[in-house]
Structure 1
């Protein structure tokens, strides 16, 4: 019995021994094996790179003990798909693990994400989770290279490189540059991610001042009005100086006691090199950066849908530092519609011929700007606008119709034998006077005015000519 007991003890001990050995062996086999990383080496020359979304970014090489996730694979995938230059990375250092894996130290252009990412197995090459990139793409220089001015440096100023395309890009000091300094373009490039255009410009009066500036859509030779050019931070006109009591006049447009808008006329230092000070008279030799004298500036800046009544008196005897008040009243602008009131044939067109013309006009037909050419004199155009709620006067109506010049019709009509015809138009008269003033005697500014015309059928195909039809209803 003792022998059996003893045998049981040995067997039990053996089992326990094996169990203990098994437990120890299992624990040792599941322990994680970490890599070790060599010393940090700064890249001789940094490199702009893109991530591809296959690898996360860590606080240290990802297989080294203690590495923490800085940006998950999901986040990195979003950065890889981004169309913003600030999500481009800059690689500037490296560590290699004892397993031969190369990790690069990278940072986004906006400094939001910084850490290590796997870069392949060969030091000096970029593979794995990153690839090299050019942040700028060379573009053609503009057709016009000289005569640019900085528009508003608080919004778009000069940079040593377009922002977020170079980790070391910074604003250029404009100390010593005047608003009247012209700049010349010598290079052009687009941001590779966004495609936005930038010009490299140099101050024509101080070559030490140069840099890159956002250029909007760039200079367009098809646009004849330079004021309509989208040039981003550049302008084809000198930027106005900051308004002060020594160089400006404050203009207030008011309707009774209600202020409608305010603006400032600012003397151009480029046009008038003699310094001015508060209290000096504003004479007619002085202009702003657009070349406008004070009275012209006030006229040009009357608020939309208002008419001014005292510009001449308000701009007389003004001194620098003054505030002038321009009285305005709500206004409206009319357009003119044209209706065929009478039909006639030219002297060489018989009634039989006219009858054979297909699709010809009929009495009462409304015409559009596509049916004829016409011009309107500046005086007539001015009289189309009037004080809202105040009826047109006969004088105004006669000034409007007197400034209308009707051209030929723009449509060609054909007879059955193939002969071509067109119409000529004239304002209808009655007893040697036009009917325009009578037809519109009850009209107010803003109403559509009616002009009765006589359409005369004439041999020959129609010809077209450019005309301003913005005033035609």
Structure 2
């Protein structure tokens, strides 16, 4: 009996010993999991944060070696995206995390927003490595030999974009609400999408410079006299100017000639000395329309009267010099509340990179007027009404304990009129804001800032 009890005690101790070993191994496994020691927003320019997968690593909801990390996209999926011919499969890196093991993980989102998560990025925050590498989403293309006189072929099918679609994260379409079908556009840049190879032109509306963006250009302008390519078209080549089909338009300011243009009609019954009336040119413009559109840059026509205009003669158009004011953003007060912020925003001039401040197209148009003329209080009020009341900042700040923050900017229209009461056209106007610190990362919105000083 004692022998039996003795054997039972030995057996029990053995079982307890095995149990103790199991507990120790479990604890060691949990302790071996990596921990995130920092996770911050990337502050480099958007273009430098465009990346592509290398196909060597999967995408996770958290840094891959951290407890609780779940797979968002497998290694096979990431390899497929690495070899993709679609710009939608590029990524934008926007945060970088480091673990206590010295490994680096980047938080990325695909250009189409379908995939978002952390991917292994090597051992240094100074360069992309591991599962991602820098990507050049577009390449500079050859400019067309013709840069002016383009029209939108079908805005419903091919419109304007802030960047060729999916080559920048959240590239968006541009409103064409105030554009007319007869508007002409000028090409100033040309690029191809690296993966698809498709050609895009950057065009600006000659009648409304606030309407500008990238448009798909198909095979581009090939020198043909009449054609449609992608979202653009050009009209038939004009005939040679003769006394029988043309009118010389001369622009005068204070009695001096400041420019000229030649109207050439396609009317078959045109003849020297005949009144032009409603005859049109190849673009479908009447003489009055043509003369208005062709006013030299920096001037505006007081009136265009073509009543007595005849072929083979000169039409004189009086113009006045115009000037366009720009707007400077200013922070008059900063409210950080109870937060301690690293490199806090200060009062003074506000950089356009700090906030996505927008101004309506109608308000932008009011920034131009007779050179040297005073800007009326009513006009200043209308410009002020073109601002929204609040704007979310586009720069992420951090508190001393590592919390992401951003500023919200509040605009007071009443101050705008007082601040600019003595302004004339061509002067820089001042728009003041109050900056209030808010929780959360900054906005990634991109807006037109051509009107900013």
TM-score relative to the length of structure 1: 0.48
